[in-house]
Amino acid sequence: MHSKEGCGKMRVYIDGSVGTTGLALEGRLLGLDYVEIIKPDGRLRKDLATRRKYLNAADVAFLCLPDDAAIEAVAMVDNPTTVVIDASTAHRTTKGWAYGFPELSKQHREAIKSANHISVPGCHASGFSALVFPAIKAGYIDANSPVFCQSLTGYSGGGNQMIAEYEDGSVKQSAAKLYSLQLAHKHLPEMQHVCGLANPPVFTPILVNARQGMVTYIQTTGYPAKEIWEYFNEYYASERLIKIMALNAASSLELEGMNDMEGMEIYICGNDSQAVLAARFDNLGKGSSGAAVECMKVRMGYE
């Protein structure tokens, strides 16, 4: 198996390389001189035997696939040294899979370092967990009480079909719209599981007529915003991809301020008894392909 200390480049295969996440992932990997992307002829990219061959030839195999196809791909891997990093929803709460958010805790980072199965967090779930996981540990949020969350997102998170609908002019799109109003968003199980909540959060995402960008936010009551801000500063002090902005740094927050960047900004604003906690990041970066590459770097010793 490839190692940082060994010779040769790291062989990386992207199963599902023509989707939004796969294309963005390949673009990020092309900038890494220690990575060799291995790929079949385009006509064979969906052929099962070809996929099996490349999955088992890779040091790291990224899955940028629908859930059923990701589960199928994992079953085809019989090389014990292949590291599988799954960007789908399929394995985010599965026992034996490391959750790919190393900044959440030392335990999360150590699990990624030793895992051959790593699940990349969902975009909304990334912002939610970055806020709620520490807040529960500190007691600012009760894991047994309802947690309410909103999240603004660009349309690129909807994949190639949604991007086309917004950009080819064939469908008139509104400036913003609520969705998943039946409170059954696919990230809910992961949000609840990762943060240890007794019940799923009440989560209402908002789709914005902008290509990319994300702001996920919650509100708290009963604690001074300054106290929460001081705690978050200490909690994420050693994490270079999580930046805690100055207390009350924003009176408003626009969507696209972290586009094409790797990390996440956390804003804490409020008064002596109420606070708004907001995470701003690129839904295609820390919320998707950027997080997948970060998992690879942590696991393979290139962080």
Tens of pLDDT, residues 65-102:
999 999 999 999 999 999 999 999 999 999 999 999 99
Q: Say if residue 137 is in the same domain as residue 279.
A: yes
Domain that holds residue 170: 123-283
Query: From the CA atom positions of the chain, what is the Rg in Å?
Result: 19
Q: Which residues are catalytic?
A: 123
Burial level of 184, CB count in 10 A (0-12/13-18/19+)? exposed
CB 195 within 8 A of CB 149: no
Q: Say if residue 117 is in the same domain as residue 128.
A: no
Q: Say if residue 98 is in the same domain as residue 146.
A: no
What is the domain count for the chain?
2
Would you say residue 6 has pLDDT above 90?
Answer: no
The partner residues of 119 in beta bridges, in order of sequence, read: 86, 99
pTM of the predicted structure, to 2 decimals:
0.94
Q: Say if residue 155 is in the same domain as residue 251.
A: yes
CA distances from 212 to 18, 19, 30, 185, 283 (A): 18, 15, 21, 19, 6
Q: Say if residue 16 is in the same domain as residue 161.
A: no
Would you say residue 5 has pLDDT above 60?
Answer: no
Q: Say if residue 257 is in the same domain as residue 171.
A: yes
CB 266 within 8 A of CB 244: yes
Q: Say if residue 109 is in the same domain as residue 18.
A: yes
Q: What is the pLDDT of residue 171?
A: 75
In a domain, 183, yes or no: yes
Mean of pLDDT values over 10-24: 93
Q: Say if residue 60 is in the same domain as residue 147.
A: no
